[in-house]
Structure formats: structure tokens, C-alpha cells
Structure 1
Amino acid sequence: MIRIPSRPGLALVLALQCTGVLLPTSVAARPVEVDRIAAIVNNEVVTTVELKERVAQITRQLNRQGTQLPPADVLERQLLERIVLEKAQMQLAKESGIQADDATLERAISRIAENNRMSVSDLRAALTKDGISWEQFRDQIRSEIVLTRLREREVENRVVVTDAEIDNYLATNPEGVSNEEFQLAHILVRIPEGANQRQLMERGARAEQVLTRLRAGEDFSRLAAEYSDAPDALTGGALGWRTRDRVPGLFTDVVGQLKPGEVSGILRSAAGLHIVKLVDKRGGGSAGPVQMQQTRARHILIRTSEIVSDAEAENRLRALRERIVNGANFADLAKANSGDLSAAKGGDLGWLNPGDTVPEFEHAMDALKPGEVSPPVKSPFGWHLIMVESRRMQDVSDERKRNAARNALRARKSDEAYEEWLRQLRDRTYVEYRLDKE
């Protein structure tokens, strides 16, 4: 990556801007593609080669999806803006010390291969066939991991959902958790923070133009790729399938009034102007009562470290188990030996629902009868002894509703906060476009 001074207007002397090369007379003259600067983002550049590679990649993707391509110059501008925003985020991540190590990257690639029902070597061969180099793919996944961690730190970790908000949500949604799902797409015309009257009029006219073309029958995906400022623009603005409680708050009332295939009017949010399309919907009605088996359990945790090895932790737990089998009190031994916060309560974990613990712990716990103590069990947290005290069938409808409400509110807040955060980041990023100048 080429580094340049960050001050606007400072003269740049870059080898990439040379207009040609001298060839030996013995070599036949042939055209040589010159890498130029497409844009400057703070103290980094986006080169035309980088931009052309991204255009080629997205073009292949849209062709496979059967999505009509926007005009070449529009696609190029959209992708350049996306790269600018990505670079601004990656720069902030670097300043914040956010990274993705090789182990995390390899696990992510393995999951991608598994989700596509292929081995890593098969995935590599498929990418090569599509013209994507393995190193390019790895760099892209590493960047996505970093950007996800940045979003978690800057946005999601700051989203708070209060009990009062959950109570209000449930009060205004008396039908509870709905099984109805909506497949949505949207177009966002972003409005800069502190926009003046001229900018507001220009952005409004742009949104009106899009809406007019949509109502004249033009393809939504194509217009999203051409006009939308959202990160999902080049996938047709697709938001995928969402239950009613996961639909962005701005869209909720409108979506309920649309028929599949219809588009909304222009909606205003802090991020800008939106147009939403209801692609399809399915399901309906409220979720009924839910009976679930719960387990009351205790455990003793020995964490491993450079000082405590796996073998030592396992042996310590075997000795503790023998004492418990011979009549020692589990709770007393948990208080004296467990490295978990539950030690103060004698290792009591309370009533556990399926999925509340990691799979290794849950599988061992489910195999026990009330009163039984497991052999040492290894999990990502260390080594455990588990004792099941009792089990019960419980109606968890209310608890499920509150959890669903909390998740829905968190998702809505997170999406809205992320859009606003992206807008603020873009507004404070120095960007100089060079394509037109070149």
C-alpha cells in the first residue's frame, strides 16, 4: 500500500503516476497499463488497478445472480465510494489496535468451506475458477473480521436495551412473538451530517428520481446498485428474511401495509432517505406457549494456564470427584476449588435452558441423572465437574418473549446506530477523488 502525506494539496511524487516506460529496443513495444491514483483517503491511496479488480469481481458476482448491471461509470463510482468507506474503517481499526490473527482467519475460512459443503482445498479451487486468488480471498476475509470487530467496539457494545423499553415493546405488541417473516430490500440516499439546504434539496431530488423510476417499472436491484449509498447496494439492497420484530423500526408500519413486490414512499431517518421494497412474506400468527426442559446444575471449574496443565486440572477434578462420591459436599468443594464466579454460590448455575452452555458442557450435563456427578469434562473454559440436581418442564413463553424483544430492540438500535456511525465517519474522512482529474 502506498503511503502519502495526509495534508490536502501537498505535492505528490509517485512512481505510479508515470505515463509510460522505456523498453529496450530488442523488446517489441506493447501497451503497458499504468497504475494511477483513483482517490486519496486520509493518508492512503486507492489505485485504479485496485478499483478495476473490485469492478471485475462484483461484475462476475452480479452476473451469477442475474442482476442487471448499472452503467459502467456508475458501478465504478459506487465501488470507489465503498472502497473509500472500507479504508476509512480499516484506518480507524488500525489506530485502535484491532487485528485478526492467523488462527482466527483459518477458523473463519474453515467455517465458510463447511457452510458451502466443501473442503478448504475445494473452496480454493472454486475461487481460482472464478478468477479470485487465494491471497486476495484471505485478505478480504481478514478485513471483514476486522470490520466486524470494529463495529462491535464502536457501535454494538454501546447499544443498551432497558427493561422499560422491553416492557413498552411487549405492551405495544400484545400478539407477542410473531412467526410472520418479510423479505426486504432497500435503497438509502445518505444525507451528510450538518447538510445545508442545497444538499438537502439535491439528496431529496435524487430520492424522488429513484422512486419515480421504480414506479415506472424499473428493476429495484439495478437502481439499488446505481443509487443506494448503503453497504448492501451492490447486492440489490437485499436485507434478507426478517421476522416482524427484526424489521428496522422505521420500516415496521410501512411494511405491514405493502403487498409483495410493492415499494414504499420516501422515509426519513438520521442516516438519510430510504425506499423499502417488500419482496415477499411468509408465515403469520403468534408463537404459542413453549414448554422446555430445564436443568438445575452445579459445577467446579479448573482453568488451565501456563502453570496448570490439562493433565493436572483433570487429575485434580478426579480427586475431587472421588471425595464427592464418598460423601463430601459438592457445594463446599466448589467454594474452595472452583475458578468460576459461581464458586461463591457453591457452583450453583441455576436453571439452565438448552443452549445456555457450551456444547461440551451441555452434552455431559444431559447425560447425567439427577444426583449424578460427571467425570472431568473439558470445554473452552477449562475442566469441569458437573452435578445435576434436578430437572423440570417449564413454560418459558414469557421469558422467550422478553428475550425476543430484547434481541429485536438491540438489532434495530444497532442497525440504526451503525448507519449513523458510518455517516459520521465518512463525513470526517478527508477524501480527494482523482478519476475525473486523470
Structure 2
Amino acid sequence: MNVKTKLSDYVRPLLLGAMLIGSAVQAEVQPLDRVAAIVDNDVIMQSQLNGRMKEVQQTIAKRGSTLPPEHVLQQQVLERLIIEDIQLQIGERSGIRITDEELNQAIGTIAQRNGMTVDQFRAALNRDGLSFDEARDQVRREMIISRVRQRRVADRIQVSDQEVQNFLNSDLGKMQLSEEFRLANILVPVPEGAAPEQVQAAEQQARDLYQQLQQGADFAQLAIARSSSETALEGGEMGWRKAGQLPPPFDSMLSKMSVGDVTEPVRTPGGFIIIKLQEKRGGGAQVRDEVSVRHILIKPNAIRSDAESQRLAERLYERIKAGEDFAELAKNYSEDPGSALNGGKLDWIDPSALVPEFREVMDSTPSGEVSKPFKSRYGWHVLEVMGRRATDSSEQYRKQQAQTILRNRKYDEELQAWLRQIRDEAYVEIKQ
């Protein structure tokens, strides 16, 4: 895949999926240029149209698709350029500007996504016939379109709590948010109409394989050597499945399994099956670590220097170690107004919500222990870790997923309606 393709693939999803602006392939030099269309206060030149036509033709050819008649394709491409130009003019009138710093950051991100430095990316673009300045302008204009759409469409979208709940309760919502499992299987077949002895022998064989797996045997190797499944030569690999796509009792078994677990042999019409859970994804299962912690904060101020604040924190630490009550000392000395009256307690808190200095000391302090004094941007602390726990935030995560799905759905609908509106309201004269 050349760099032009990579640039397009990256920039489109980064900036809300709008088409790239400008020609990704330099147009051939032409003796004379002419106006292809007048769009409000701007014009689209024939050279722009030719350049975009060439890019689109190359993209279609790479996909192996049949090109439509040139006049049909040209009409489609010109219409796309018109819509883009209207949005750029809206951005200009709205005062939307992309700073050089923002643009440099975007270019740097594109280069990084392509596994290159900016200098390497510049060289690669030149090899593919696209100047670095042209690429920068292309990205700048795409960023403007993205911000126009954010202001005119995305910021107006609202999703109510009732809409979220209705989606979660719907069959579509349950299907889209359900957990997926990547599975592998080993099948020990049982012939149709098999005698009891044959069934018993197949079951024993399956149990022998299960025992080997429990003792550390490689699942894929056993599948290749011993399974009669159609996926045996792929190591039993079944791909991604939702629980609802599997027959009982596997549908209920999977939710209780951890990645790497293997089921005991299960009798099915075709024989005895052993399934391994390779990976999980989706489903909203989210476990968050939380810590119960309390602290004393001593802040430097106009009458107490940083060194004096440190010495006070050290004295309090020694008093705690000598047996004085942490909560009483926090009430009397801590200068954190949010926790002092509560004996310094921050209660159960997500470590990611804390400043790095506090989080690092807290992570290294065992439960029930008091840390030595340490400094953060707020001052000097002494903390005590009172406990740790894992909290299941699956329901909250599912609601966030549902809200994102509904917002994206509304955005797609609103965007198409808005694009039709601005096209209808614009003055457009085709010079063809």
C-alpha cells in the first residue's frame, strides 16, 4: 500500500469520515485551466476536478471494481467537491482557523501511524508524487471541515436517558452490546445410530484429550492431530462468536469462563466437543480498581516555607507511627478542605483520578500502611491505604456504549440532512 493510500485511510477516520480535500495526486500540467463550477463566492477549477477524478479512478481500480462511465463519475466527483467547498466557506465565515501547531501535530500523528518520522513521511510523499506542502494543505482543509461539522451538527445532538434505556432493552441493543468470544474446538465424532459401546469409547477418548489439556498440552496441536472438526487443520479455530449464536449449554457456559479456559467434553448430536475460550471482547464487562485512602496535606504558604512544611509533615508521620490517631491529626492539621473534616478520607477512589505523585506512592503502599511524607504539586502529604477492591462498572459502561451508538446514528442522519440543506441553499453554477 503506498503512502497516499495510507494517508487517506488515516485522515478519514480521524476527522469524522469526511472525504479528503484537494487532489491527492498532482494534476498533469495543462496549458490552460478553466472554471468547472462557481460555488457561492468561490470557484472549482477544472484542474481540481481532474486531480480528484484521477485519485478516485485509482482507488476504484485498486479495489478491483469496474469504473462507471467517465461522465457519470465526473458528475459524482464534482458534486463532492461542491459540498466540500461549501463547508470550507462556512468555516471561513465562522472564523475557524487551524494553527500551525495543530497542523504540525496532526501531520506528526499521521506520520507516526505510518511508522515514520515526519522527515521520512515527507520523503515518502515526494516519492509518490505528492508534495509535503500539498499534504499539509489537504489536512488543514479537512480539519476545518471537521470543525464545521462539529459546530453545526454534532454539538446539537442530544441523547436522552430514556433513549439509552430503550436501546439497552431492545433486541438490537442486546445484540450490538453482547459479548463476543473467540473460540477453538476439538470434536470427537459419534456416528449416527452408534451403539452404546461406541458412544462410551468416544466419550473416553474426549476425556483423555481433556486431561491432556489440563496437564498443559497445546490445544491447537491436539486439534490438528485428533479433532474431526472441519476447522481441525486451523487448530480448531472457530473465530468470533456471540453466545446467542451457540447451542446450549455453551451459550451459558461461556459467560462464566476466563480466557484460556477449556470446557469439559459436551455431548452434541455430532459427538463430544471440547471448546477453548481464546479471547473475549465487548459486552460491557468492565472491572475498575479502586482504593480507599486517607491523607494529610500540608501546604507551603506565605508564613511557612516548603522546608518547614516538609518538617511538619515528617513530625506528623512520626506521631502516627507512635500510635496517635490518623483521623484526629487530619482534622487538626490537614489543609485539604475536601477531606480534613472527614479525618482525611477520600473514600473509594479510582487511582486514575489522582495526580501522578499521589498515585505512585499510593500504589506502592500496602493496605493498612502509612507512607512516608512525599511532595505533590499541592504540597506535602502523608497517606494511609485503608483497602483495595475491584468494582464492576459494566452497567455504566454499557450505558456509555449505548449513548455512543445512538449519538453516531443521529449524527449520520443529521449530517446528511444538513449537507442537503446547505447544498440547496448555496448558489451553484456548473460550467460544463
Q: TM-score, normalised by structure 2?
A: 0.54
Give the aligned partner of residue 17 of structure 1.
none
The Cα shift of 1:69 comes to 3.0
User: Structure 1's 91 and 289: CA in aligned 2 closer, same or farther, altered over 3 A?
Assistant: closer
2:330–2:340 CA contact under 8 A, matched in 1: no
Q: How do 1:10-409 and structure 2 match up within 5 A?
A: 33-173=31-171, 175=174, 177-179=177-179, 287=283, 289-295=285-291, 326=316, 329=330, 333-335=335-337, 351-352=349-350, 366=363, 372=371, 390-409=387-406
| Equivalent residue letter for 2:41 | N
**1:333 to partner: Cα distance:** 2.7
* Aligned mates of 2:413, 2:379 — CA distance in 1: 41
The 8 Å contact of residues 161 and 406 in structure 1, kept in 2 or not, is answered as: yes
Give the drift of 1:102.
0.6
Map of 2:10 onto structure 1 = none
The letter of the residue matching 1:100 is I
Equivalent-residue separation in structure 2 for 1:419 and 1:384 (angstroms): 55
Report matched runs for 1:405-416 at 5 Å: 405-416=402-413
Distance 1:358 1:144 in 2: 35
Counterpart-to-counterpart distance in 2, 1:386 and 1:55: 66
Aligned pair in 2 of structure 1 residues 365, 349: CA closer, same or farther (>3 Å)? Answer: same
Percent of counterpart pairs with the same letter?
33
Counterpart-to-counterpart distance in 1, 2:382 and 2:122: 42
Q: Distance in 2 between matches of 1:425 and 1:363?
A: 52
| Structure 2: segments with no counterpart, 5+ residues | 1-28, 182-240, 243-278, 318-328
Rounded Cα–Cα distance in structure 1 between residues aligned with 2:61 and 2:134 = 20
Deviation at 1:36, TM superposition (A): 0.4
TM-fit CA distance, 1:66:
3.8
Asked if the contact 1:178/1:284 (under 8 Å) is kept, the reply is no
C-alpha deviation, 1:430, in angstroms: 1.1
- One-letter amino acid of the structure 2 residue matched with residue 47 of structure 1: M
More helix by share: 2
Distance in 1 (alpha carbons) for counterparts of 2:305 and 2:50: 60
SS in 2 for 1:333: coil
Normalising by structure 1, report the TM-score. Answer: 0.53
| Counterparts of 2:294 and 2:109, CA distance in 1 | 32
Structure 1: gaps spanning 5 or more residues: 1-30, 182-242, 245-282, 302-311, 337-341
Deviation at 1:65, TM superposition (A): 4.1
Matched AA of 2:335: L
Offset at residue 90 of structure 1 (A): 0.9
1:114 and 1:290 mapped to 2: Cα distance? 30
Counterpart amino acid of residue 156 in structure 2: R
The 1:175–1:129 alpha-carbon spacing in structure 2 relative to 1, beyond 3 Å, is: same
8 Å contact from structure 1 (residues 317, 385) kept in 2: no
Aligned to 1:196: none
Partners of 1:108 and 1:412 in 2: how far apart?
26
Helix, strand or coil at the partner of 1:126: helix
1:423 pairs with 2:417: no
Q: Which one-letter code corresponds to 1:97 in the other structure?
A: G
The whole-number CA distance in structure 2 between the counterparts of 1:49 and 1:347 is: 68
Q: Structure 1 pair 80/178, CA: closer, same or farther in 2 (3 Å)?
A: same
Residues 368 and 374, structure 1, Cα contact 8 Å, conserved in 2: no
Query: Structure 1's 56 and 159: CA in aligned 2 closer, same or farther, altered over 3 A?
Result: same
User: Aligned partners of 1:321 and 1:430: how far apart in 2?
Assistant: 70
Per the TM alignment, residue 85 of structure 1 is displaced from its structure 2 partner at its CA by 0.8
Measure the CA separation in 2 of the matches of 1:69 and 1:78: 12
Question: d(CA) in 1 for partners of 2:382 and 2:110?
Answer: 34
Give secondary structure in 1 for the equivalent of 2:55: helix
SS in 1 for 2:43: strand
Letter in 2 for 1:146: I
For 1:420, the aligned partner's letter is A
* Contact residue 40 and residue 426 of structure 2 kept, 8 A: yes
Tell me if the contact between 2:180 and 2:283 (Cα under 8 Å) persists in the aligned partners. no
> Do 1:364 and 1:377's aligned partners in 2 also have CA atoms closer than 8 Å?
no
Give, in angstroms, the shift of residue 292 of structure 1: 2.7
**Superposed displacement of residue 149, structure 1:** 1.5
Offset, 1:93: 1.0
Aligned residues: 285
Q: Give the equivalent residue in structure 2 for 1:221.
A: none
Letter in 2 for 1:161: V
Would the aligned equivalents of 1:297 and 1:348 in 2 still touch at CA under 8 Å?
yes
Higher alpha-carbon Rg = 2
Deviations 1:151-180 (A, max 9, x none): 211111221111111121122247472246
- Per-residue CA deviation, residues 57-106 of structure 1 (Å, 9 max, x unaligned), is 33334444444433322222222111111111111111111111111111
Q: Secondary structure at the match of 2:335?
A: helix
In structure 1, distance between residues paired with 2:414 and 2:373 = 45
For the aligned residue pairs, the C-alpha RMSD in angstroms reads: 4.5
Q: Distance in 1 between matches of 2:62 and 2:360?
A: 42
Would you say the 8 A contact 2:293–2:387 is kept in 1? Answer: yes
